[in-house]
Amino acid sequence: MSVKFSLGPWRPSYGIFVHAANDECVALVKGDGDENTEANARLIAAAPDMLLCLRNVIDSHGEVDQDLWNRIREVIANATGEAS
């Protein structure tokens, strides 16, 4: 599968930046640097993992195993900043 975006995992840094696995800055989240700005950065950083999980669900044809459910929960927790 060929992708046209920087490979993940992406990670938020300093509350307003999002960096790819190669340390490339892929996003600068504008805001006041408050909890909303940091939440937006977490959500953007989770995008590659969320896309991969969704593709895995589609590829599984409805047969989602426990490992994939656990991965989906982990990605949601990363995106929201909540415990999985």
Q: Where along the chain do its domains lie? A: 11-80
Query: How much is the average pLDDT of 51-75?
Result: 86
List the structure tokens of 71: 């991965």
Q: For 7-62, what is each residue's pLDDT tens digit?
A: 889 999 988 999 999 999 999 999 888 889 999 999 999 999 888 888 888 888 87
Give the mean pLDDT of 59-69. 84
Q: 1 falls in which pLDDT band (50, 70, 90)?
A: low
Q: Residue 84: what pLDDT?
A: 60
> Quick one: how far is CA 20 from the chain centroid?
10
Alpha helices in the chain (DSSP H): 35-45, 47-59, 66-80
